[in-house]
């Protein structure tokens, strides 16, 4: 069995560990480094995996090392692991938003096979969407390993141009928040017209869930499905015309551009 070590035991690591165990990976194949004692105890209790306070103990002899920490933590952990990683040369998987492969190579070693990926929070319920990018040292077998780990929590897609990873962050990593904002707006609008918030939220959330399933399960383009819902001169057309008058598509494009730009800025800040 592949030996996998997680540096960081937060929510995303928990979701990946839970997903991997469901695929049949043995608990003895997984180690976790987590500085918080309560979190270590919870991981051991919930999943039966070995947990350590020190990164080096968890990473010892690992074939795959998953960096599940916040971007600003990356520079502070490389000194502890750099020498061991140079000897072991494990596959390094980073789920830190915005951290570029060249930065990971500079911190952890230029000889390492590295996969950069961007999952999103629905991974916590096994419904994630993840983009992955591999450097040239990642073998086909390691590519399959990385995909298996991320497939455990949802859909995966390989991105061959790393410059598009900030766009991945903007359209899937951050987009659950856009969805929540839309439901909030629908709830507020219905409440203003006299509906209870509970009912408005339930109807809006279920409508969005159903629409998402229709889109993923039908294989149809979103424009085709939109047209099917839109009767001429009907209520949906009236709403869509209002969106168009407010330049809905342009607003979304600006938002995605802003998120993409911010991802680059966050990575650049780590170069300072």
pTM assigned to the model: 0.89
The Cα–Cα gap between 62 and 265 comes to 32
From CA 261, how far away is CA 259, in angstroms rounded? 5
For residues 125 and 120, give the distance between their C-alpha atoms in angstroms, rounded to a whole number. 10
Of the residues 166, 190, 221, which one is the last residue of a structural domain?
Answer: 166
178 and 162 inside one domain: no
pLDDT in tens, 86-122: 888 999 999 988 899 999 999 998 899 999 999 999 9
Give the CATH number, domain containing residue 217.
Answer: 1.10.3730.10
Whether residue 224 sits in one domain with residue 91: no
Residues 220 and 103 in one domain: no
Give residue 9's domain range: 4-166
Selection from 43, 69, 50 nearest residue 4 by Cα: 50
Instruction: Count how many domains the chain has.
Output: 2
Residues 118-164 have pLDDT tens digits of 999 999 899 999 999 999 999 999 999 999 999 999 999 999 999 99
Please name every residue paired with 4 in a beta bridge, in sequence order, or none if there are none. 30, 64
């Amino acid at each position: 069995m592949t030996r996998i070590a997680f540096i960081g035991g937060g929510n995303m690591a928990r979701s990946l560990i839970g997903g991997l165990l469901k695929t049949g990976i043995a608990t003895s194949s997984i180690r976790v480094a987590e500085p918080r004692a309560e979190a270590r105890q919870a991981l051991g209790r919930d999943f039966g995996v070995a947990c350590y306070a020190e990164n080096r103990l968890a990473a010892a002899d690992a074939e795959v090392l998953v960096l599940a920490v916040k971007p600003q933590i990356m520079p502070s952990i490389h000194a502890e692991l750099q020498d061991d990683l140079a000897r072991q040369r494990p596959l390094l998987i980073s789920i830190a938003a915005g951290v570029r492969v060249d930065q990971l190579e500079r911190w952890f070693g230029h000889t390492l096979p590295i996969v950069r990926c961007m999952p999103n929070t629905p991974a916590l319920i096994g419904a994630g969407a993840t983009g992955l990018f591999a450097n040239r040292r990642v073998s086909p077998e390691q590519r399959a390993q990385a995909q298996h780990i991320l497939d455990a929590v949802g859909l995966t897609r390989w991105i061959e141009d790393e410059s598009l990873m900030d766009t991945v962050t903007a359209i899937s990593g951050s987009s659950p928040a856009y969805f929540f904002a839309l439901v909030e707006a629908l709830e507020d609008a219905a409440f203003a017209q006299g509906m209870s918030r509970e009912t408005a939220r339930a109807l809006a959330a279920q409508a969005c869930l159903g629409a998402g399933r229709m889109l993923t399960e039908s294989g149809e383009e979103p424009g085709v499905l939109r047209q099917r819902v839109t009767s001429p001169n009907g209520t949906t057309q009236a709403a869509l015309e209002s969106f168009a008058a407010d330049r809905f598509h342009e607003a979304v494009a600006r938002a995605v551009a802003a998120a993409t730009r911010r991802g680059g800025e966050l990575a650049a800040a780590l170069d300072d």
